C-alpha cells in the first residue's frame, strides 16, 4: 500500500508501540529484531507444530507479525478486536478452522501486508 512519508512514519510508530503477546496459539510481535529472533527460535526447534510452521513461513524482515489460531481468538474476541480486520472480527465463525498469519513489512518505503489462512485439519 502506498502512503505519504508522514503517514508511513505514523504507521511505523504505531507498530513499534504494540506490546508483544505470546500465549498458547497466539503470537503478536512488532519490531524487525524481535520478529527475526522469534522466527530463528522457531526454526531451531527440531519438531514443528502447524502453528510453528505458520510462524516460520513469515519474513524475518517483517515489522509486525501475528499468528493466531482463530478458534482461540474467538473464545475471547474482544481482547483481539484491535488486531483483526472488521470483516474477520464480524464473521469470526467462518474462520475458526484456520490459523491466521499476518505480516507487515516496509519494502522500499511502502508497507506490504500479507494475510494467510492455513486450514487446520
pLDDT at 121: 82
Bridge partners, residue 106, by sequence: 111
Residue found by looking up cell 508501540 in the block:
17
- Short-list 24, 26, 25, 56, CA closest to 41: 56
pLDDT of residue 98: 98
Strand order in the sheet with 98-107: 21-23, 26-30, 64-69, 98-107, 110-119
State the Cα–Cα distance between residues 4 and 81, nearest whole angstrom: 27
**pTM to 2 decimal places:** 0.89
Express each pLDDT in 16-40 by its tens digit: 889 999 999 999 999 999 999 999 9
Q: Which three cell numbers stand for residue 93?
A: 465463525
Per-residue confidence (pLDDT) for residue 16, from 0 to 100: 85
pLDDT, tens digit (0-9, with 9 covering 90-100), for 37-90: 999 999 999 998 999 999 999 999 999 999 999 999 999 999 999 999 999 999
How confident is the model at residue 89, as a pLDDT?
Answer: 96
Amino acid at each position: 500500500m502506498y502512503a505519504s512519508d508522514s503517514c508511513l512514519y505514523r504507521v511505523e510508530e504505531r507498530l513499534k508501540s504494540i506490546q508483544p503477546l505470546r500465549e498458547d496459539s497466539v503470537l503478536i510481535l512488532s519490531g524487525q529484531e524481535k520478529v527475526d529472533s522469534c522466527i530463528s527460535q522457531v526454526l531451531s526447534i527440531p519438531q514443528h507444530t502447524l502453528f510453528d510452521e505458520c510462524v516460520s513461513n513469515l519474513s524475518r524482515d517483517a515489522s509486525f507479525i501475528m499468528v493466531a489460531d482463530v478458534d482461540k481468538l474467538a473464545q475471547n474476541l474482544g481482547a483481539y478486536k484491535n488486531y483483526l480486520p472488521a470483516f474477520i472480527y464480524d464473521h469470526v465463525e467462518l474462520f475458526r478452522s484456520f490459523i491466521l498469519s499476518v505480516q507487515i513489512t516496509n519494502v522500499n518505503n511502502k508497507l506490504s501486508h500479507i494475510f494467510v489462512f492455513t486450514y487446520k485439519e
